[in-house]
Amino acid sequence: MKILLDTQVFLWAITDDARLTAPHRDLFLGGSNELHLSLASVLEMLIKTGLGKLPLPLPAGDYIAKQME
C-alpha cells in the first residue's frame, strides 16, 4: 500500500513518539508499504528548523534525507 505521511506523523515515526498509535507504527515499520513524504512536508520542516521551532540533531537537510531512507 502507498502511504503519504503527514509532516507531524513522519516526525512521530522517526522519533518513536508515543502519540503514534501501535497500528500506525506497524504500517510504517512493517516494510511492506511504500512510504512517501511530500516536498511540502520537507519544506515545512526546513522552514521550522530555520526559525528555531524544530530542533534536529543534525543539519536539517541531512537529517531529513537520512530519516527518509
- Per the structure, the complete domain to which residue 15 belongs is given by 2-68
Question: Taking phi first (over 0 means left), then psi (-120 to 50 degrees means alpha), and beta for anything else, what does residue 3 get?
Answer: beta
State the DSSP code for 67: H
Q: What would the grid cell of residue 29 be?
A: 515499520
14-51 pLDDT, tens digit each? 888 999 999 988 888 777 889 999 999 999 999 999 99
Alpha-carbon Rg of the chain, whole angstroms? 12
Q: How many domains does the chain have?
A: 1
The pLDDT of residue 27? 85
**CB within 8 Å of 4: residues ≥ 6 apart:** 36, 37, 38
Neighbours of 41 (CB within 10 A): 19
Instruction: Report, as an integer, the average pLDDT of 53-65.
Output: 90
